[in-house]
Structure 1
Amino acid sequence: MAVAVTMAQMKVAVLRHAYRGQRAQTAGTGAVLGLLLAAGTVYLAWMDPELLAAGYAVWLLGWMLGPVFMGGGDETLRPEYFALLGLPARRLAVGLLVSAFVGVAPLVSLTALLGLLVTGIRLGAVNALVAVPAMLLQLAVFVLLSKVSVAVVGLALRSRLGAIASGLLNGTILAALGQIWVFLWAFGETGTPDAVWYLPSAWGLLAVRGQWWALVALAALVIGLLGAWAALLSRRAGATRVSGRGRRPITAATANGAVVAKELRTWSRDLVRNHQLAFALAYGVCFAASPLIIGWDGMLPYAGPIFIVMAAAMAANLYGTDGTALWLTLMTPGRSDVRGRQLAWLSTQGPIALALTVGLTAVAGGPWPLVLALLPALLGGAAGLVPLISVYALVPGTDPHRRAGNPLRTSEDDGGLTGLAYLMLALVVATGAPAALAAIWFGWAGVAVGVGTGALCAWGLGLLAERRLRSHGPELLDTMRTGRKPQTTVTSRFEQLGRTQRIVAGWCFGLGAVPLVPQGILAAVFVGKGMLRHSWFLATYLPTGWRYPVAAGFILLGLAMYGTGLWIVRPCATRTARR
């Protein structure tokens, strides 16, 4: 017990010194959004226990998939730090479990679990008393399932087959969550499938409702998961296996060809990239195929474009994943590293996107102009944005040879990687908007627009990335080596703003994509396609005369939010330049 208390105190001390500046603002924004979701979950306790059980199932999946998607979860205290102490695996697991309850995410989840207490109060005093241990055990199940899932995926990433299989599984589950409305429609607008009650996320609610065995089952599950995690921790120290098979030597006639060959070899050998590629493929296919459950094949043609967007988000920190090996790139003049990486990225992602788009569009019978316009536009936009974002907003990455403990962790800054992925999602979608609108309004002419905008983005954004790499290469390497960004970055500009300005700018940059992309651009596309009353897109539910104006209003709102954020940041940048 003393070890557990000590680890919890260590976690508190680390977080107290870590949550400063931009990281504190990011954590605060995440906490506010999480508490809003938690409040909505507690509200379900007043509406219908069936909906509350479904809500807790979503929280469970979030705990299991969130860390996998965002780089391995919270590892403020790592098992490797205590390797020389000689602690038994179970004792180490208990200590790390106690420390895992210290943080923003467990506090937010505990707030959401207050729905059990609300349900117990409504049923009686005994039920309310049972709700207290049920809340704690349910939270322990969430945390332990998260730890076990990350550990299992980490072990799977030590083999190519495991990396691909885990990527396919995670992509499928996350796509199903993204299309949850399909399953709700399939099961009825108010009904909840009975399978929800068999999930561990509903056992606490069952205990509060009088089925006392569920409380015992939760306790047994916590003990079992703790034992499984302890066993996985003992295997974590092993190094990643390296294949002993001979490899064909890399041969190239030009410097750019050498970059392409090196990148292609990396895509074939790096298990993290294998995982990310499989994840993007599964997400694109399953997200587009989910509506087939209700007999609608209208999403099938967009599997390829969705795959491109997700693959670009996975590669948003392309140069950051090199680790300190970036110095090799900087010390080799006379070649265009950016162009080589662009060509390699297109060579690995392009054929998959083309096959998905053409094949599934043929199955659905169209719309050919729209998807053939989106395909080159998104490919070119992603090929330009991937190197550009990675050099302008580089997140210091972990050297590949140091990922053995947790291969999912490619950076120390999970929040930075997550923000970078969301930014990439919004920007890549934006590069396809002109081609999509042209295809909707002018038909096949949109294909020419897509080819033109894609080529322009790939060439122009790649040129900007190349210039940035040449002019700021030493600063990027210093950032990679030390983990500290130079004072000329956007982060330092944020830190020089007042607290209110930072909050407003953070909300504008963080939430501006919501009205711009889904409620604006995508809603206009759905209205143009006659897809009315579609999911959560407001414009599709309005009368005929209001649909396009409302979608246009959301686009203007999103642009205004981004403009406001830039306007707030720019004065600080101007003052810095004058000094």
Structure 2
Amino acid sequence: MAVAVTMVRMKVAILRHSMTGQRGGMVATAGTLGVVLAAGTIYLASLDGDWLAAAYAVWMLGWIIGPVFSGGGDETLRPEYFALLGLPLHRLAAGLLVSAFVGVAPAISLLALSGLTVLGVRQGGLAALVALPAMVVQLAVFVLLSKVAVAVLGIALRSRVGAIGAGLINGAVLAFLGQGWVFAMAFGQGGQIPPLVRYLPSGWGVLAVQGDFAALAAMVVLIALLLAAWAALLNRRAGASRPSARGRRPMRAASAREAVLAKELRTWTRDLVRTHQLTFALAYGVFFAAAPLVLGWTGMLPWAGPIFIVMAASMTSNLYGLDGTAHWLTLMTPGASDVRGRQLAWLVTVAPVAVVLAVTFTAINGGPWPMIIAVTAALLGGGAGMVPLISVYALVPGIDPQRRGGNPLRTSEDDGALTGLAYLMMVLVAATAVPAAVVAALFGWPGVAVGVLTGALCFWGLGVRTERRLAARGPELLDMMRTGRRPASSGMAFKLPEMPKTARTVTITCWSLGAVPLFPQGILAAVFLTNGQLEHSWFLATYMSPGLRWPTAVFMILLGLTMYGLGLWIPARYRKVV
């Protein structure tokens, strides 16, 4: 108990001193969005069927998959900090578990789990009493599943096979989660959620409230097993990783650009974090595009390649930050620039896989060839140009690879900034393909020429801009990489200026939620309407009368664009005032 109390006090002190400035505003905004989602979950408790169990399954997947994007999840207190204290593993695991309940995410999850109380009140007095311990026990299951998943993934990333396997599993799970409407339509019965969801660990709390007290006992047993597994994994994590001593073929580069290209290609093949990221992007693109096959629709298959490119750019958006202080080697060489070499290495790594996916799946579907070729060409050039540019302009200070701890996913101390950078990269890279997609949709094959031209211009022009930025701000960027502190006058293009909390909240909300009306409810809904896919799903346009379907899809596209425009205009307005 003393260990747990001490760790809780440490966690509270660290959070109290870190919730300031921009990070505090981002946490407040994320907390507000979380409260909205929790309120929606509580509402589902008033509906008949298994909607509440299905919602808790989504929350559980969020706890498991979320750490992949947030650098390993909440590790305010790391196991490595206590390795020299000689604490027994079960006491260390128990103390870290108790401290894990302190934070915004557990509080929001507990609020969402209060839906069990609403369900219990509907069932009767005894069920309402059972709901109270079921809430706490269910939250403990969520937290421990997250901790064990992160620990297993950290160990998996110590080997190439493990990194590839973890990337495949995580990409597939997240893709299927994003395409949940497909499985709801395929396996739903009369518009209801299939009963299977209540038998998942996330649904055991619902079963307990409904009178199955064995489910409550099963959650207690599961907690004990997960705690034991986590304690064992903590012991593996505290051990030192052993680097490979295998000999390497020497590089034979004839020019500086070839040397950078060879170095980057070796980094892409040897850094297990990058291996995991690219495998994750590949699995996500393939499974996301293949999910509608459950309904017998192959129309999304050709988009596997473009989706892979966008996700690969998103996962590698902090390219320079991953290298850390190694950038001083380039800065110490007068007139040297490694931008073109990095761009070529990114293309060599991503382009062959993307082209194979695009050609193969488009052939299976029988088209549309002009659209897919045009978009793929534009995205490859846009990704090769945007990745180094954004990683320089919005660099997030990373942890030097040789100093990474027992959790290889944690490549930076600023997890929120990394997540925001990944989402920003998705939008910017996708935007580079808009001209080619519009021309291809209107005129067909001329869109391919526009896509090639757009990609070439992005590759060349954004590369030039990156080189100029490095030449002008190289020492400041290196100091940021070395110290981890962002100077007040760093001139980061995507850093929010000082603004009122309301304006900051609106800005972050627009950037966080703008993709919902723009892509799924707008662009994707328009694709469904074009192909005559009018079955009721989570697309609002399919529920409208025939005369309002297209206006609804267009309105959603305009709403998404307006949200992104507002997210750009508000910071620009306050930046001008300052």
Per-residue CA shift, 1:206-248, capped at 9, x if unaligned? 1111111111111111111111101111111122332222110
1:498 is matched with which residue? 500
Cα gap change, 1:294/1:526 in structure 2, threshold over 3 Å: closer, same or farther?
closer
1:323 is matched with which residue? 324
Q: State the AA in 2 paired with 1:83.
A: A
How far apart, in 1, do the equivalents of 2:376 and 2:253 lie?
29
1:135 is matched with which residue? 135
Deviation at 1:453, TM superposition (A): 1.0
Deviation at 1:570, TM superposition (A): 2.7
Deviation at 1:490, TM superposition (A): 5.0
Deviation at 1:42, TM superposition (A): 1.2
Cα gap change, 1:178/1:571 in structure 2, threshold over 3 Å: closer, same or farther?
closer
2:232 is matched with which residue? 231
Cα gap change, 1:564/1:209 in structure 2, threshold over 3 Å: closer, same or farther?
closer
For the 8 Å contact 2:394–2:495, the answer to whether it is kept is no
Moved more, 537-546 or 163-172: 537-546
For the 8 Å contact 1:504–1:565, the answer to whether it is kept is yes
Deviation at 1:517, TM superposition (A): 3.7
Per-residue CA shift, 1:538-575, capped at 9, x if unaligned? 44554565555544444443343333343332344335
Moved more, 264-273 or 62-71: 62-71
Aligned Cα RMSD in Å? 1.9
2:427 is matched with which residue? 426
How far apart, in 2, do the equivalents of 1:94 and 1:53 lie?
28
Moved more, 326-335 or 9-18: 326-335
SS in 2 for 1:496: coil
What is the aligned residue count?
A: 576
1:509 is matched with which residue? 511
Deviation at 1:354, TM superposition (A): 0.4
SS in 1 for 2:45: helix
Normalised by the size of structure 2, how large is the TM-score?
Answer: 0.95
Deviation at 1:169, TM superposition (A): 0.6
SS in 1 for 2:297: coil
Per-residue CA shift, 1:22-80, capped at 9, x if unaligned? 11111111111111111111111110241111111111111111112321000001111
Q: State the AA in 2 paired with 1:505.
A: T
How far apart, in 2, do the equivalents of 1:491 and 1:252 lie?
35
For the 8 Å contact 1:238–1:404, the answer to whether it is kept is no
Per-residue CA shift, 1:104-144, capped at 9, x if unaligned? 10011101111111111111111111111111110000000
Matches for 1:100-499 after TM superposition, within 5 Å: 100-188=100-188, 190-488=191-489, 489-490=491-492, 494-499=496-501
For the 8 Å contact 1:432–1:450, the answer to whether it is kept is yes
For the 8 Å contact 1:426–1:517, the answer to whether it is kept is no
Q: State the AA in 2 paired with 1:512.
A: G
Matched, 1:81 2:81: yes
Deviation at 1:365, TM superposition (A): 1.1
SS in 1 for 2:418: helix
Moved more, 224-233 or 191-200: 191-200
SS in 1 for 2:474: helix
1:557 is matched with which residue? 559
Moved more, 523-532 or 12-21: 523-532
2:70 is matched with which residue? 70
Q: State the AA in 1 paired with 2:571.
A: V
How far apart, in 2, do the equivalents of 1:307 and 1:440 lie?
21
Matched, 1:45 2:59: no
For the 8 Å contact 1:240–1:404, the answer to whether it is kept is no
Q: State the AA in 2 paired with 1:354.
A: V
Cα gap change, 1:470/1:536 in structure 2, threshold over 3 Å: closer, same or farther?
farther
SS in 2 for 1:24: helix
How far apart, in 2, do the equivalents of 1:205 and 1:55 lie?
11
SS in 2 for 1:497: coil
SS in 1 for 2:229: helix
Normalised by the size of structure 1, how large is the TM-score?
Answer: 0.95
Cα gap change, 1:499/1:55 in structure 2, threshold over 3 Å: closer, same or farther?
closer
How far apart, in 2, do the equivalents of 1:491 and 1:210 lie?
56
Deviation at 1:507, TM superposition (A): 2.6
SS in 2 for 1:319: helix
Per-residue CA shift, 1:444-488, capped at 9, x if unaligned? 111111111111111111211111111111111121122221223
How far apart, in 1, do the equivalents of 2:493 and 2:95 lie?
35
Cα gap change, 1:32/1:300 in structure 2, threshold over 3 Å: closer, same or farther?
same
How far apart, in 2, do the equivalents of 1:47 and 1:268 lie?
50
Cα gap change, 1:447/1:532 in structure 2, threshold over 3 Å: closer, same or farther?
farther
Structure 2: segments with no counterpart, 5+ residues: none
2:10 is matched with which residue? 10
For the 8 Å contact 2:63–2:143, the answer to whether it is kept is yes
Q: State the AA in 1 paired with 2:22.
A: Q
How far apart, in 1, do the equivalents of 2:159 and 2:529 lie?
45
For the 8 Å contact 1:440–1:525, the answer to whether it is kept is no
For the 8 Å contact 1:304–1:357, the answer to whether it is kept is yes
Moved more, 172-181 or 191-200: 191-200
Cα gap change, 1:297/1:273 in structure 2, threshold over 3 Å: closer, same or farther?
same
Per-residue CA shift, 1:415-443, capped at 9, x if unaligned? 11110111111111111111111111111
How far apart, in 2, do the equivalents of 1:456 and 1:543 lie?
43
For the 8 Å contact 1:239–1:404, the answer to whether it is kept is no
Moved more, 93-102 or 68-77: 68-77
SS in 2 for 1:243: coil
How far apart, in 2, do the equivalents of 1:49 and 1:546 lie?
30
1:92 is matched with which residue? 92
Per-residue CA shift, 1:348-390, capped at 9, x if unaligned? 1000000011011111111111111111011111111101110
Q: State the AA in 2 paired with 1:507.
A: T
How far apart, in 1, do the equivalents of 2:144 and 2:559 lie?
41
How far apart, in 1, do the equivalents of 2:434 and 2:548 lie?
21
Moved more, 511-520 or 399-408: 511-520
SS in 2 for 1:485: coil
SS in 1 for 2:183: helix
Identity, % of aligned pairs?
Answer: 67
SS in 2 for 1:500: helix
For the 8 Å contact 1:160–1:271, the answer to whether it is kept is yes
Moved more, 331-340 or 376-385: 331-340
